[in-house]
Amino acid sequence: MSALPARAVCVPLLGIALAAPAGGPPQSAAPTPQPAARAPELKADEKTDTAAMAAYVKGMNDFAADLYRQLGRQDGNLFLSPFSVHVALSMARTGARGKTAAAMAKALRVEGAPDQLAASARQVLTALKPGVEDGTKVYELAVANALWSSPGYPLRDEFTRALRQGFQVEAREVDFAKNRSAACRTINAWVNDATRGKISEIVDAMQLPDLTRLVLTNAIYFKSPWAEPFSKQATKDAPFHVRAGEKLDVPFLNQVKEFPYWKTDAFQGVELPYAGHELSMVLVIPNEIDGLAAVEKSFSARTLDEGLKSARRTKLFLSMPRFRTEAAFSLGDALVAMGMGDAFSPAADFSGMTEKEALYVDSVIHKSFIVVDEAGTEAAAATAVAVAARAAPPKDPIPVRADRPFLYAIRHARTGAVLFLGRLVQPGAR
């Protein structure tokens, strides 16, 4: 099999900076060190704990819907990887103790000791590894995690071992104290490499506090052709209704094919598989031009799962805009609103990371990038496989037009993990 052409590229990236409070907290406010959790001793031939992984993924997806609701209060296009945010915060949660750990676990929608959560995270990351056909990856999905600290900074062995074994992290040294600019250049070079040049910077020396001690980073890079490619010859300009009474002409991808499809009183749902059928993009298209707000209000991981379970392969005349979106977020306010305020305060307890001093989360930065267009390749034989019984499609295809603001998600089939989540309000806007 030859190299796959570009089809969709998604590059979300997250950075978390932890710092010591200026002047240090009052001695009485310093957290009491707790016994560090034992790092999971995972073996290469370990069998997947299906129930634990399913519970972990459910928590991740519930967190995704919560975070989307917080960020969705702003206007315009929205794109992020709640998966990336969850993974990076879970790494920080591994080193949290006491009330800080409990609050982070509640917001992240996960339960269990740090070693158990690290084991579940490893199982999910392992499950996400791309399939291979004829010696070639069906798609590209790369997840990279890193821990950056100053040379000689005394991190607990249990913490670094848990990150290495659970999140596939290697601790790296950069000197925040003596040369913050050089440290940021090193981190940003890693970012640029991990995202194939799509995101060149995640940390800024002018924005990091003087007492920065650690930076945790996560990057995800995704690239895949459609299982059912769109023909460039079929792409035509058509109106996209930004809102009632306002529209603009944009390029629409068009094709007539069978796709998993369901309909409710509020929206139409369509699943577009990527090559190999291991991942798919799910479109949630409101029935009304101004119906997105109502759909977002009721959106949850459960409604998405239930919709996909009820979907039936149906012959559609599908039209969707070609688009590209970039986004950058400072997630502190959103995460505080979701219950993580303790982690951002001088009273935070991250004594599972180090015994040297008290630490708190200073900032959480997230950047993302996505391109969706026609490009694709002939799909594997799995394209035509039908697992469940379905009704015979009608003679004429059902028209499904994503010509109004809509929700979209990119989801991993086997685990059910929602890796990327967004909305398109105005094609052409970044």
- pLDDT by 10-residue block (mean), the chain, 430 residues: 39 53 42 35 54 90 93 88 89 90 93 83 87 70 84 87 86 84 87 80 73 82 85 92 90 93 95 90 94 92 92 93 84 91 86 84 83 47 16 61 92 91 82
Which pLDDT score, from 0 to 100, does residue 1 have? 33
Partner residues linked to 240 by β-bridges: 248
pTM recorded for the entire structure: 0.85
Which pLDDT score, from 0 to 100, does residue 17 have? 59
Contact between 249 and 427 (Cβ < 8 Å)? no
* H or E element that contains 297: helix 292-298
- Token pair belonging to 159: 């913490």
Which pLDDT score, from 0 to 100, does residue 378 have? 23
Which pLDDT score, from 0 to 100, does residue 135 have? 62
Q: Which amino acid is at 180?
A: R
Domain 232-322+376-424 in the same topology as domain 8-26+46-224+325-370: no
Which pLDDT score, from 0 to 100, does residue 132 have? 67
Please report the sign of the dihedral spanned by the C-alpha atoms of residue 373, residue 377, residue 380, residue 385.
positive
Q: Which of 141, 155, 126 is nearest to 216 (CA)?
A: 155
Which pLDDT score, from 0 to 100, does residue 128 have? 84
Q: What are φ and ψ of residue 88, in 5° steps? A: -65, -45
Which pLDDT score, from 0 to 100, does residue 389 have? 18
Burial class (CB within 10 angstroms; exposed 0-12, middle 13-18, buried 19+) of 395: exposed
For residue 393, the tally of other CB atoms under 10 A from its CB is 15
Q: Taking the domain 8-26+46-224+325-370, which CATH number applies?
A: 3.30.497.10
Q: How far is CA 318 from the centre of its chain?
A: 26
End-to-end Cα, the chain, rounded Å: 34
CA distance 211 to 189: 22
Which pLDDT score, from 0 to 100, does residue 38 have? 35
CA distance 256 to 336: 45
Which CATH fold topology does 232-322+376-424 show? Answer: Alpha-1-antitrypsin; domain 1 (2.30.39)
Alpha helices in 28-156 (DSSP H): 50-71, 82-94, 98-108, 114-127
Which pLDDT score, from 0 to 100, does residue 430 have? 56
Q: For the chain, what are the domain ranges? A: 8-26+46-224+325-370, 232-322+376-424
